[in-house]
Structure 1
């Protein structure tokens, strides 16, 4: 992780309510370039709600999400225009879904899936787009000969790697991941985690990863936030939180893994 004292992302007092039901409440943190933040907790703890609110997929009830843009400096994500937000999500941000099909266009080729994001940022040279797509297939360990194949012909693990290539081709600085290894076989998970860890390091990506799997959190994240009932109940360096949990709920999470 490259040390940089200027936050890339600053979340302040973020709250999301669904009527009387709490999605997440009063969450605050900073994220720096090259830093990976893991968010863990059981189903219903608020971690996915928090991720959607941070990544501009649903506007929170209150709170501020500030991002240090390349051109305009620090901007409130919910105060810029919808067009500016969409551009940010196509260029400097990326979102890796648990189900790769949610992040891919299944009716176009693997190469077109990757190239589409380049075209969205203005690239129109077919040769360059195709070359970049082939290069990224190689980076995610898919044979370049599969460039013209439909994603539906790929295995689940390959679809997830293709989704990652599609997301990273525009060199984003911030990547959101929602259970990126969920639903994959253990051996496929291990290969994907090795790939992700390498890409995060080599590209100096800032990442927010939501997972219920503490082993995934330990492998990928530098810092960890534990959520329960929509609130962050413990946070700190990942190894510190997992090796010496202070809150009873975190202790229960860790002990349940050790017992399996």
Structure 2
């Protein structure tokens, strides 16, 4: 029986303004894309940052299964071990690519940095791997020595994907990955992401306010309101037949737009 790559039990992150997350339970399996949706302030980005160890949980458990089958309790993991896992076992794609890239070095150096953190030092292999990934994200290996500042917003976001996937992580966190892109650029980015998820078999946890993005990428979806999950299930079922009044309101607001 397949074991979940990530599981949470009673996960809580408290904020005085009520924008934290409370009593979160779910399981994520290899190759699965889980969407987290809700309006601004619902706690979805707080949940993502807590899962990834960027914020310390106040209560609960987050258990991650690495590629060797070893389980790690992320809420009490030493910082050095968390950083090792963040370099090798998972990635984190930010809404604004500039927050996830080193803008003062080349595209190739951005991609190679994670490989070097895992011990790769051969210059030729680093350039070859970086060029391969630029081709995979439809930028082109001929842009290897260009800095991200020379790229469009969509290209920067695709570069951020390459930077994260080059080390073949098992899990990628995505925080509003299409939020800063216009509609035509969004479509290309989503098609690319869907193909890469299929080809690599990575698991993804994706925060988005866009229900259309959730429908395209996520097999399952959590709906959050005021820091709590109010509905969870297959994405198409939630969007076509929402059960919770808040989910119904979210879906109807899209239909009326």
TM-score range, shorter chain: over 0.9
Find the counterpart in structure 2 of residue 14 from structure 1. Answer: 11
Find the counterpart in structure 1 of residue 51 from structure 2. Answer: 54
Find the counterpart in structure 1 of residue 227 from structure 2. Answer: 230
Q: How many residues align?
A: 257
Find the counterpart in structure 2 of residue 154 from structure 1. Answer: 151
Does the alignment pair 1:144 with 2:141?
A: yes
What CA deviation, in whole Å up to 9, does each residue of 1:124-179 have, x standing for no partner? 00000000000000000002111000100000000000000000000001000000
Stretches of structure 1 lacking an aligned partner (at least 5 in a row): none
Q: Residues of 2 paired with 1:108 and 1:132: CA distance?
A: 17
Q: Residues of 2 paired with 1:255 and 1:80: CA distance?
A: 42
CA contact (8 A) 2:95 2:176 kept: yes
Question: What is the TM-score with the length of structure 1 in the denominator?
Answer: 0.97
CA contact (8 A) 2:18 2:227 kept: no
- Superposed displacement of residue 259, structure 1: 1.0
Find the counterpart in structure 1 of residue 167 from structure 2. Answer: 170
Which shifted more, 78-87 or 202-211? 78-87
Find the counterpart in structure 2 of residue 242 from structure 1. Answer: 239
Stretches of structure 2 lacking an aligned partner (at least 5 in a row): none
Does the alignment pair 1:71 with 2:68?
A: yes
- The 3-state SS of whatever aligns with 1:21 is coil
- Superposed displacement of residue 79, structure 1: 2.4
Q: Residues of 1 paired with 2:9 and 2:97: CA distance?
A: 30
Moved over 2 A (4+): 19-22
Question: What is the TM-score with the length of structure 2 in the denominator?
Answer: 0.98
- Superposed displacement of residue 5, structure 1: 2.4
- Superposed displacement of residue 70, structure 1: 2.5
CA RMSD of aligned residues (A): 1.0
